[in-house]
Amino acid sequence: MSSISINQKTVQPIQNTLMLVKSGAERVLLVDDDHTAVAVACRMLESLGFLVHAVNSGAAAKDCIRKYRYDLLVSGLEMPDIDGYTLSKQIKDTSQNTKVILMTGLACGDVAGYMNTGIVDGWLFKPFSPGDLSETMRKCKLIETPNISSISRFNSHYSDDRPGLHVGQSKANPFSLKYVEPKELNPTENA
């Protein structure tokens, strides 16, 4: 396992823009060939309350799509074995209700041809902040602005010893990351 440290100026805290997953059980398939991007995006998604299954290749993602149901696919656009757009079409073929967000380091003009196809529900341009992520999720109707009930649910879901954001609390360095392989999901477990 490698340890990843991120400059705090690069990642803005999301306490002011916090939005939470609607039901608290939404499952995300996160795919990118960049291990750092996966670690950072995984941390952000988990802090919003998503259950995240992270993989580093399109082939692994295709295998996951065959075995599990996801509420959201967050994928890199440019990957060596399969591009994120092709992966998006495949997941939409199996589940029309699955939302798709693509991440890219390309300029907006370079991906304009993909933008209005009806396949992709949202875009994140790297590097993106937690605020960018939560706003994209809100536009895709995957998260809501917190109220007292959702903040209470969020706080009860995450214990103080869990890394990441704790609403109303301050951590000395909330963006010091350690990449941890995702646990295996149970194939029969559907949200």
pLDDT band at 181 (very low <50, low <70, confident <90, very high): very low
* 154 lies in some domain: no
* 28 lies in some domain: yes
pLDDT digits (tens, 9 = 90+) for 124-178: 888 888 888 888 888 887 766 554 454 455 445 444 444 433 333 334 433 333 3
* 98 lies in some domain: yes
What CATH number does residue 138 fall under? 3.40.50.2300
* 1 lies in some domain: no
* 160 lies in some domain: no
| Cβ pair 70, 98 in contact under 8 A | yes
Q: Please state at what angle helix 130-139 crosses helix 35-47, rounded to 10 degrees.
A: 60
Domain total in the chain? 1
User: Backbone phi, then psi, for 30, in 5-degree steps?
Assistant: -110, 125
pLDDT digits (tens, 9 = 90+) for 6-61: 444 433 333 333 444 455 568 999 999 999 889 989 988 888 888 899 999 999 99
| Residue 116 pLDDT greater than 80, yes or no | no
Least confident span in 82-86, 108-112, 127-131: 108-112
Q: Which domain holds residue 137?
A: 24-148
* 135 lies in some domain: yes
